Amino acid sequence: MAEDTFELARAIVDLLEQKKGEDIVLLELKQLCSFTDYFIICSAGSERTMKALANELQKEVKMQYAMNTWGVEGESANGWILLDYGDVIVHLFSPVLREYYQLEELWRDARVLVRIH
């Protein structure tokens, strides 16, 4: 299952990059927390882009992996959307809120597996 989880995380990173996600980071959290293995953090240049990223991600993961999100929090109008896939959690942020919440700093002990600027 671990390889499948990493494969899912990498596929999400690739999809976000293809769909104009910005400053994408994949963090491995396996040794740091019990609730997930990976965080993906991605900025969206606009509210519209963020909404499109979330919608495309849900559609593609369902189609390619037969998985629905466990939950969706936030909305593009508020500058943040979280998509929960269990062992992979995706954070989509406006640049302003990403700077404010600084998840990379909060999880600075996590191993950075991918960083796409």
Per-residue pLDDT tens over the stretch 18-54: 999 999 999 999 888 989 999 999 999 999 999 999 9
Confidence (pLDDT) at 52 = 96
**pLDDT above 50: residue 86:** yes
Q: Which amino acid is at 96?
A: V
The enclosing H or E element of 105 equals helix 103-106
Cβ atoms of residues 21 and 72 within 8 Å: no
Structural domains present in the chain? 2-116 (3.30.460.10)
Nearest to 83 by CA among 20, 24, 39: 39
Mean pLDDT over each residue of the chain, to the nearest integer = 94
Cβ atoms of residues 80 and 66 within 8 Å: no
The gap between the terminal CA atoms of the chain, to the nearest Å, is 29
How, if at all, do strands 22-28 and 38-43 pair? antiparallel
Give this prediction's pTM. 0.93
